[in-house]
Structure 1
Amino acid sequence: MSTSRYEDLSEEERKVYDAEEAAREKEEQAALPYRWAQDLQTVSVSVPLPKGTRARDLQVVLQKRKIKVQLKSASEPIIAGELFNDIAVDDSSWTIDDDIMSIELEKLSAHIKSHQWWPHVVTSAPKINTQKIQPENSKLSDLDGETRGMVEKMMFDNQQKAMGKPTSDELKKMEMLEKFKKAHPEMDFSNAKIG
C-alpha cells in the first residue's frame, strides 16, 4: 500500500491493516530456514543445523555482498544469495554452538556513519517493514566519547531550557563576558548584550 493510501485510512483501519501486515510478515519470517535480527551495526543470523554438525561439514561463503551456507552433504544451500547491502567481511564471523550456527554480519555502512535498517538478509527473501522497527534504547556508556559528549550536552541544554535557565553555550558566553569585565574594569558593560 502506498503512503498516501495508508494516510487516507482511519485510525481503526490503520490498526487493522498494521496487524494484518505484522501477521503476514511474522509468517513469512517464520518460514525461513534461519532467524535473524539486527541493530544499526550488525545483522545476526541463527541457522539451526542437524545434530553433530561441525564446521568441516559446512561450506560457508561470506563476501562483501554475498552469503552462502550449505551442508556439504546437501544439494541445496540453507541460505544463499545477494546480501541486502555490503558487509565488512574482515569484521564478520560465524560460529557453531549446540547445533546452531551464529553468523554476525558487520554492516559496512556502520563504518561510514550512514546506518541503515535491512529489510531482509538476502534480496530473494521476504522483506520486513523497516519503518516499524523499534530500536533498543542505547545507554550513554555504549556511545563513543565524542557522541556521548554531544548527547550529554543536548540533554543538559534541554533540561536548562525547560527550567528557563541558560544553555551551555549561553553559560560559556556569560563566563567569557565576566572574565572580560574583570580584565577591563575601566569599560562600561551596562548595555552589553549576549547573543
Structure 2
Amino acid sequence: MSDERESSPTPSERARKDAEDRKREEEEQATLPYKWTQTLEEADITVPIPGNLKARDLVVELKKTHIKVGIKGQEPIIDGDFPHPIQTDDSTWLLSTKADGSKEIAINLAKARGSYWWAHIVTSAPKIDITKIQPENSKLSELDGETRGMVEKMMYDQEMKRQGKPTSDEQKKDEILKKFMAQHPEMDFSQAKMA
C-alpha cells in the first residue's frame, strides 16, 4: 500500500508557483511583436514599426472576430481571431510617432457588450491567466464632485439595505413627513400610509 497523499500546496509553494507562472507569462508576452493592455470594456494594442512608414504603407483590418495588422507586401504582424467579438464601429487605430522618432500603430478595440477579460488578443497567441487580473480601482477622490456624490450615496444606500435600515431616500421621505406632521398638528395621521 503506497502512502501517496493528495495535499494542497502550502502558501509558500502556491506563492512560488504563482511567481513562476507570472514570470513565464511575462516572458511569453515579451516575445509577441506587440504590447497590449485591457479593461473590461476595451483592449489596447501597440505595434512598433519602422519610423519611415506612413499610414498608407500599412494594412489594418478590424473585423468583428478577426484582426490583421501589418506592412503592405510583408507577412502580417498580427493575423488572427479574437477570443470574443468586438464592436467594429467603436474600434479605432492610428499611427503615432514617439518622442524618439520611432512609430507605432495604436489600436483601441471596443469589446462587444457583455464585457469579458481576454486571455489573449488573438487565439493563436499565448494566454495570460485571467483569474490573476487585478483591475485598478478608481479612487473616489479622482471622480468629479457630482459623480463622487452619486457613488458615495449608492455605497451608503447599499450598506443601509444590507443592515436592513432605511436608505437615504427613505430617510428623506420620513423627515419630510415628520416635518409636515409637526407643522399640521390638527391633522390625524393615524391612517396614513407611506408609498
- In the alignment, what sits opposite 2:85? 86
- In the alignment, what sits opposite 2:104? 100
Aligned partners of 1:122, 1:188: CA distance in 2, in Å? 70
TM-score (normalised: structure 1): 0.75
TM-score (normalised: structure 2): 0.75
Aligned partners of 1:149, 1:83: CA distance in 2, in Å? 38
For 1:4-15, what aligned pairs fall within 5 Å after superposition? 8-15=8-15
- In the alignment, what sits opposite 2:118? 118
Aligned partners of 1:66, 1:129: CA distance in 2, in Å? 22
- In the alignment, what sits opposite 2:155? 155
Aligned partners of 1:146, 1:131: CA distance in 2, in Å? 33
Change (3 A) 1:139 1:52: same
For 1:52-63, what aligned pairs fall within 5 Å after superposition? 52-63=52-63
Task: Report Cα offsets for 1:115-166 as digits up to 9, x if no partner.
Answer: 22111111111111112112122255988999866522133347889xxx96
SS at match of 1:23: helix
Aligned partners of 1:131, 1:146: CA distance in 2, in Å? 33
Aligned partners of 1:59, 1:122: CA distance in 2, in Å? 17
Aligned partners of 1:70, 1:116: CA distance in 2, in Å? 26
Letter paired with 2:9: L
- In the alignment, what sits opposite 1:136? 136
SS at match of 1:105: strand
Letter paired with 2:76: P
**CA offset at residue 181 of structure 1?**
2.4
How many residue pairs get aligned? The number is 178
Task: Report Cα offsets for 1:45-70 as digits up to 9, x if no partner.
Answer: 00011231111111211111110012
Aligned partners of 1:115, 1:151: CA distance in 2, in Å? 21
Q: Which has the larger radius of gyration?
A: 2
- In the alignment, what sits opposite 1:4? none
- In the alignment, what sits opposite 1:20? 20
Change (3 A) 1:56 1:22: same
Aligned partners of 2:149, 2:65: CA distance in 1, in Å? 35
SS at match of 1:43: strand
**CA offset at residue 83 of structure 1?**
0.8
Among all aligned residue pairs of Structure 1 and Structure 2, give the percentage whose two residues are the same amino acid: 56
**CA offset at residue 185 of structure 1?**
2.8
Change (3 A) 1:141 1:92: farther
Aligned partners of 1:41, 1:145: CA distance in 2, in Å? 24
Letter paired with 2:85: D
For 1:28-39, what aligned pairs fall within 5 Å after superposition? 28-39=28-39
